[in-house]
Amino acid sequence: MSSGLPKFPDPPASLDDDFGRDLHTEHQVLNMGPSHPATHGTVKFLIELDGETIVNLDIQVGYLHRGFEKECESGTWYQAIPYTDRLNYNSAVIANVGYCMAVEKLLGIETPEHCQWLRVLSSELARIADHLTRCGAACLELAAMTPFLYGIEARELVWDLLEMLCGARVTSNYIRIGGVKHDMPGDFAPTAKDFIPRIRKLLVDFDKIITSNRIFVDRLKHTGVISKEDCIRYAVTGPILRSAGVGLDVRKTDPYLVYDQLDFDIPIGEVGDNYDRYLVCVEEMHQSLRIIEQCLTQLKKLGPGPVNVADPRVRWPAKGKVFNRMEELIQQFKSVTEGPLVPKGEAYFAVESANGELGFYLVSDGSAVPVKVRCRPPSFINLAPMDGMLKGGMLADLIPTFDFINMIGGECDR
């Protein structure tokens, strides 16, 4: 008897067989972002899905484009420093250092030793804050709120230290061409000595809560994998490159400031997945704490000293002289309105930011206004291979992968 009912196939022997079978579903296109609750960053993903599997991914950036380069090209060399704060706002000091050292390279200035230790100290504090934000927010977006709170508590301590040192918690604006804004305040060193063990303890707690959590491990292991070779083809740097097993770090390969006098290790991963990136970031925070301790010891040993280069091109004259002498008054006026005249030429200077190689390529025509201020943004360049990291994976893998690429809109879009 033939009824009008359709004939259904036999049920699969097990559920796994069913999942493994090609269901010939139609592809659907999903718009994710630019403001999505599970991503911390303003970016839009146009995802072509086959069920929950990512077939194609188009990453659309630029929502935070403020014309960084254009603005820098219309101000003096000094006026670009606050803009660099707003590139990667999780670790603003590192961008300050990169830009100022690129200008110093053009000017041919060597900063005093005291200043160099302070720059390293503040850079490493910023690196810890950046990694804490990355790891904490990743937990939050993977639905684990508690570790996020531990991470943020530690970041508060780091930010308190940065505030004591720079006067601001996030957009520090601490580094100057030829120096830093001021020496560390008298109570900074004891406070830092008090805070470092507390930060370490919070990192240990963070580790205990999440590192071997089954859900966290399952969502991070073998997701967002990128090979060593692909990292190099895509010029990926920073923790992503190191998690793939390449131990490249500008602080070791082209040591700047006093990094060659410091004792620290570069952690590397094996697989190049999100879990390795997480482990690399956690270890880098411990290494940064080691560096900070060495900086404090060294600064104590050095005693008080100049934090700024004695070069009238980049520093203001002493206030007492400005108020009483004409030449110094004129010089102060010229320094404020015009800033330094940077000799004609070009220079590229790279620092290791929390996301990788942050480079500044500057071109000067000898005037007080830059011709070109190019920022090589690690966030932008590291984000480019993300479609390849996710193709064939599940939609849910996008969240941890995007978290550990740590795309920072300010730096990516500039």
Contact footprint for other proteins (CB under 8 A)? 61-62, 65, 67, 69-71, 73-74, 105-106, 108, 230, 232-236, 246, 248, 253-254, 345-348, 357, 359, 361, 363, 371-372, 374, 376, 380-381, 383-385, 413-414
Nearer to other proteins, 207 or 230 (CB): 230
CA angle 337, 340, 345 (to 5 degrees): 135
CB of 384 to other proteins, least distance (A): 4
Of the CA atoms within 13 Å of residue 229, those in its CB half-sphere come to 0
CA distance 185 to 183: 6
CB of 123 to other proteins, least distance (A): 20
Count of CB atoms within 10 A of residue 325's CB? 13
CB of 380 to other proteins, least distance (A): 7
Nearer to other proteins, 25 or 60 (CB): 60
CB of 45 to other proteins, least distance (A): 14
Nearer to other proteins, 246 or 322 (CB): 246
CB of 230 to other proteins, least distance (A): 8
Q: How buried is residue 186: exposed, middle or buried, by Cβ count under 10 Å (0-12/13-18/19+)?
A: exposed
Nearer to other proteins, 168 or 248 (CB): 248
Nearer to other proteins, 106 or 154 (CB): 106
Nearer to other proteins, 21 or 70 (CB): 70
DSSP string, 15-74: HHHHHHS---PPPEEEEE-SS-TT-SS--EEEEEEETTEEEEEEEE--TT---HHHHHTT
CB of 366 to other proteins, least distance (A): 13
CB of 361 to other proteins, least distance (A): 6
| Omega of the bond leading into 34 within 30 degrees of 0 (cis) | yes
* Residues 6+ positions from 145 with CB-CB distance below 8 Å: 139
Amino acid at 262: L
* CA pseudo-torsion sign 106, 103, 312, 186: negative
Helix 188-210 × helix 113-141 angle, to 10°: 30
Nearer to other proteins, 105 or 315 (CB): 105
